[in-house]
Structure 1
Amino acid sequence: MTLRFLKQNILISFFILLISMSAFGQEIKGLRYFMQGNAIASSIPYGNNVSAGHYVKSDDAKIYYEVYGKGSPIVVLHGGIVGSPSEMGQLIDSLSQKHQVISISTRGHGRSEMGNKIPSYEQKAKDVNAVLDKVNKDKVTIVGFSDGAYTGYFFAEQYPDRIEKLVAIGAGEWKKGFREFKMDYKTFSAMDELFWKQQMAIRPEPKRVDEWFSTLSNYYSNLNIDKYILGQIKCPVLVMAGEKDQNAPFETVIAAYKMIPNAQLAIIPNAPHPAFLVNFAAVWADMKPFLDQNN
């Protein structure tokens, strides 16, 4: 998620702050997502729900995840930098009615440790696989947003025998150098102080946050995602994006859709990057038939 995107979206009405909270920490109630606006929020504190939470060791880091519902397994992966499971709340609420939902806080986010490895998409895919080794040996469907969708692409390429389908929201072709990443905690925390107070309270390594921003900035600035990854994905993929997605521009989404051999496309009219927070009904209407159909 880029600084340019975040600055632009401060002006978008759905990001107006509506919720005021004073309690945060181990027993946070009403955990918010970044720049929370008037979208429907779940009553469950996803990402900090101790009754559903677990840890697994993946290489050098403990990865936190929560499990909800029963049925065929679906992994839910949130966005990056300012992403958290709470932003995926309405999706988890809906999916867990008929599925076992495995919501993962990706490396360095929420209750998951940073470790000392570069938080690459290859590593995040490996972390997802470590969680699945402990939770469910069946093939899974992945529903990922932004950073979580890119992790889904890499997981599908690296572990083709473990994935049934992928829903990738807001993740297009990524050309090295087409964005400038110079991210820092001070700038991001000023955008939503309450969100960061909550997140810093549950992070296992809050003092490493500046190191985390620096490491991610360097990784994202040198990243390239094209047909050499996307063209290797064999499972069915629903490529989805908002028509006005600033973070994954329309043309990059179309390019990714064309590179993936077995892809379907859904564009949410007049929606920005987090399309499911602005128009959940449209996102769900496109997603549900894809999830329900037989391969």
Structure 2
Amino acid sequence: MIIKLFKQKTIFSFFILMISFSVMGQDIKGLRYFMQGNATASSVPYGNNQSAGHYVKSDDAKIYYEVYGKGSPIVVLHGGIVGSPLEMGQLIDSLSQKHQVISISTRGHGRSEMGNKIPSYEQKAKDVNAVLEKVTKEKVTIVGFSDGAYTGYFFAEQYPDRIEKLVAIGAGEWKKGFREFKMDYKTFSAMDELFWKQQIAIRPEPKRIDEWFSTLSSYYNNLNIDKTILGQIKCPVLVMAGEKDQNAPFDTVISAYKMIPNAQLSIIPNAPHPAFLVNFDAVWTSMKPFLNQNN
């Protein structure tokens, strides 16, 4: 998940807030619950299910992905930093009933290698395309959350002939400098030691974890996403966010919606950043008509 807190100056403040935050009767207790605990409502170990797993080489890194179901292809992209495919479990369960679901562990997450390139959204979009070159020749729909949604924006701009639709959850306009990222493994590990032990155990390059945090911090601190990218997207886009999204504040989401030429908007009432974890029914009800409609 991309860690974005509009009014706070440090990444640490965000996690203190999220760990103590209670929404819709569900207490968020540490990163395991927030990102991959029983809130996912799936019994499948997505992101670490080697019976469904594959690798593809994309430039300088091996990218891990899993394939489920049959039908028209949908790519599912998880959030950044503490994100993993498991957080998308209920969405993958539901989508794979009628679609071929391609769940990708993005560069530096889970079983995917870091490589030596900057983990930019341009590069992540290129990684997604490398997976698709291996899996399908059809146009795909992308369902992305936070970091995955931003990757979806860039993929739609870079590869317009490969995408049918995009569902972007929790990703608004991004103005350079309106938040500060200063991340390190020690801080994150202290938040939830067991979560990071699980993650380190499946990462192919665990000794590079501090390098990864440092590289991400530098990239995010210099990032700007506006009409230059969003205004070039041609496919239909469902821009979705929780009303109380702390990471993609309401006004940034509205700005993104207005910048995208063929956009629809869905705001989930009283929901935070991971809206699909706390109110899946509302998210799914909003997504289904968009996924089913003809362009």
TM-score, normalising length from structure 1? Answer: 0.93
Supply the distance in 2 between the matched residues of 1:37 and 1:84 (Cα, whole angstroms). 11
2:23 corresponds to 1:11: no
Supply the distance in 2 between the matched residues of 1:35 and 1:145 (Cα, whole angstroms). 12
Partner in structure 2 of residue 67 of structure 1: 67
2:104 corresponds to 1:104: yes
Residues 164-222 of structure 1: CA deviation (Å, up to 9, x unaligned): 00000000000000010001111111112111111100000000000000000000000
Secondary structure of residue in 2 paired with 1:238: strand
Instruction: Out of 178-187 and 230-239, give the one that drifted further.
Output: 178-187
After superposing on structure 2, the runs of 4+ consecutive aligned residues of structure 1 that deviate more than 4 Å are: 32-38
Secondary structure of residue in 2 paired with 1:39: helix
After superposition, residues 266-285 of structure 1 pair within 5 angstroms as 266-285=266-285
Alignment identity in percent?
88
Partner in structure 1 of residue 8 of structure 2: none
Alpha-carbon offset, residue 35 of structure 1: 5.3
Supply the distance in 1 between the matched residues of 2:147 and 2:221 (Cα, whole angstroms). 14
Supply the distance in 1 between the matched residues of 2:62 and 2:33 (Cα, whole angstroms). 22
Supply the distance in 2 between the matched residues of 1:171 and 1:286 (Cα, whole angstroms). 17
Please say if residues 180 and 221 of structure 2, whose CA atoms lie closer than 8 Å, have aligned partners that are also in contact: yes
Alpha-carbon offset, residue 11 of structure 1: 1.4
Aligned-partner residue type, residue 11 of structure 1:
S
| Count of matched residue pairs | 283
Aligned-partner residue type, residue 173 of structure 1:
E
Supply the distance in 1 between the matched residues of 2:37 and 2:129 (Cα, whole angstroms). 33
After superposition, residues 1-295 of structure 1 pair within 5 angstroms as 1-2=3-4, 3=11, 4-13=13-22, 14-17=26-29, 34=34, 36=36, 39-295=39-295
Higher relative contact order (CA 8 A, sep 6+): 2
What stretches of structure 2 of length at least 5 have no aligned partner? 5-10
Distance 1:98 1:136, change over 3 A: same
Distance 1:258 1:18, change over 3 A: closer
Supply the distance in 2 between the matched residues of 1:59 and 1:33 (Cα, whole angstroms). 34
Aligned-partner residue type, residue 258 of structure 1:
K
CA RMSD of aligned residues (A): 1.4
Supply the distance in 2 between the matched residues of 1:40 and 1:66 (Cα, whole angstroms). 17
Distance 1:263 1:190, change over 3 A: same
Aligned-partner residue type, residue 14 of structure 2:
F
TM-score, normalising length from structure 2? Answer: 0.93
Please say if residues 15 and 37 of structure 1, whose CA atoms lie closer than 8 Å, have aligned partners that are also in contact: no
Aligned-partner residue type, residue 251 of structure 1:
D
Secondary structure of residue in 2 paired with 1:272: coil
Please say if residues 52 and 68 of structure 1, whose CA atoms lie closer than 8 Å, have aligned partners that are also in contact: yes
Supply the distance in 1 between the matched residues of 2:265 and 2:284 (Cα, whole angstroms). 14
What stretches of structure 1 of length at least 5 have no aligned partner? 20-31
Distance 1:37 1:67, change over 3 A: closer
Secondary structure of residue in 2 paired with 1:10: helix
Aligned-partner residue type, residue 51 of structure 1:
S
Aligned-partner residue type, residue 28 of structure 2:
I
